[in-house]
Amino acid sequence: MLKRNRILLVHPLGYDAAAAAGDISRIANIMPPIGLASIAASLERRGIRASIIDCYARPGSDRAIRDHLLAERPAFIGLSCTTSSFLDGIRIAGMARATLHGVRTVFGGPHVSALKESLFPRFPSMDFAVVGEGEETLAELVERFGEDPSGIRGIVFREGDGGEARFTGYREREVDLDGLPLPAYEKLAGFPGSYKLPLFNYPRVPNTSCISSRGCPYSCSYCDRSVFRRTFRFNSAGYLYEHLRYLRERFGVRHINFYDDQFTFDRNRIEAFTGMMIDRSPGMTFNCIVRAEHIDRELLRRMKAAGCWMMSLGIETGDASLLARHRRNADLDRTGRAIRLIKDAGIRTKGLLMMGLPGETEESVRKSMEYVFSHPIDDFNLTKFTPFPGSPIYDTIRDHGEFDEDWEKMDCMHFVFVTKGMTGERLEKLYRDFHVAHYRRPRVLLGYAAMLWRSPDSAFRFFRHAGAFLRFAGSNRRLAGKEG
């Protein structure tokens, strides 16, 4: 008999578990599923027993999933999926149904929030989908197990046995972020040690990630808007400070990476938060993502004093005309000034870029390289443009080039889209050339050498996995040589 007040939440790996040991991106960064931890905490507060299995942190968890289903017999299994992990989620849902008769499958995340009911005819193992934020919607769905779900806003469900899928509409109110309990980090096996921030992006361990806002006030062509739509909300400074203090006291966390898209958007919040960190420091440092419009010299001084160790800025491309096509208020000169202000404040700088946007050319790639190399950027992250469902560009993407909509490859690590005038092979070579040129620069090499003492755990991880990194670099050099 199913236990109606129980649910198993699963974070799929997204690919064959046998490949996980050699996955460079996974070796370099394992982020905890904070969204699932938040949902689990909210469910527990309402008397629903929630468990989490994170297949990304622990590949090969199929047996653990089956054992949990048979032992606990939850009425629901929830799967939080990106586009690239969705098909793995479908596989797990089918396995769950074969293991525990009658278990209901619930999908959430950006992919299902964007595509909604259009997914259901193709994937019969889907019983429900949660569209948008999951805390309130999923709790209501579990509490009404066995009842008619048509009155629950924010879900897609099948009408009758094998009937058509129907979306019940968006919820009328967004979740009050300060009203949420802190994420149930304790339900993540091995937390915080099982999770790793990107190499050379932190000074100390243990460390973890945190999200203190939802949504974004801007509307770039490439950003998914399906979960939070056009809203932008954030935790108060007091809630944020208590969140960090809890992580320090409960788990010994010493460094936090904020994954908010716009951490400094509300200056009053950051002034209040930094004041608390300076006056009552919990002994922690932090990273954050900022936009050039929302920082200045005085704010940076306060953030440095409060423990800010590194800031990332979304540059995207060093070609001003290309950037203007995809991003509002594009101003590379202002971004350059912001980079120098951050560096002058003694904060490590990281540039976030993407290659392969519609309209990309060899000249625009050259401009991106020149831009990065002419500014005091310590580290950079260059992703491969991916037109995700839910982004403004998705509906018209085939007008701009060739799009191979292979969901498993839509992870920002593959050129699934090739803009007109380019080829996939040429983009790959330009991508490799960009990385090789960056890491050969003496200033960059000296900066990484300094990480031996500034981030000793990163250095240990790098040397521990040196074989994998060297194989990856070697394959890139061989391919570059063949194509050159």
pLDDT exceeds 90 at position 25: no
User: For residues 438-466, b (16+ Cβ closer than 10 Å) or e, as one string?
Assistant: beeeeebeebbeebeebbebbbebbeebe
pLDDT for position 479 = 39
Q: What is the mean predicted confidence (pLDDT) over 348-368?
A: 97
Could you tell me the CA-to-CA distances from 308 to 156, 327, 433 in Å, in that order? 42, 27, 32
pLDDT for position 472 = 59
CA–CA separation, 349 and 27 (whole Å): 22
170-215 tens-digit pLDDT: 998 889 999 999 999 999 999 999 999 999 999 999 999 999 998 8
CA–CA separation, 417 and 405 (whole Å): 8
- Give the CA angle between residues 227, 228, 232 to the nearest 5°: 160
Residues in CB range of 389: below 8 A, 6 or more apart: 83, 110, 111, 114, 115, 224, 226
Ordered domains of the chain (ranges, CATH): 3-162 (3.40.50.280), 190-483 (3.80.30.20)
Segment among 323-337, 364-378, 424-438 with least mean pLDDT: 323-337
CA–CA separation, 51 and 70 (whole Å): 14
Single-letter amino acid code for the residue at 475: S
Quickly state the pLDDT bin for 429 (edges 50, 70, 90): very high
pLDDT for position 480 = 39
Q: Which residues pair with 382 in a beta bridge?
A: 353
pLDDT exceeds 80 at position 277: yes
Single-letter amino acid code for the residue at 275: G
Please give the full DSSP string across 218-286, using - where no structure is assigned.
S--TTS--TTTTT-EEE--HHHHHHHHHHHHHHH---EEEE--TTTTSSHHHHHHHHHHHHHT--S-EE
Quickly state the pLDDT bin for 473 (edges 50, 70, 90): low
pLDDT for position 481 = 40
% of the chain surpassing 90 pLDDT: 82
Quickly state the pLDDT bin for 478 (edges 50, 70, 90): very low
pLDDT exceeds 50 at position 483: no
96-134 tens-digit pLDDT: 999 999 999 999 999 999 999 999 999 999 999 999 999
pLDDT exceeds 50 at position 482: no
227-255 tens-digit pLDDT: 776 778 999 999 999 999 999 999 999 99
127-166 tens-digit pLDDT: 999 999 999 999 999 999 999 999 999 999 998 776 799 9
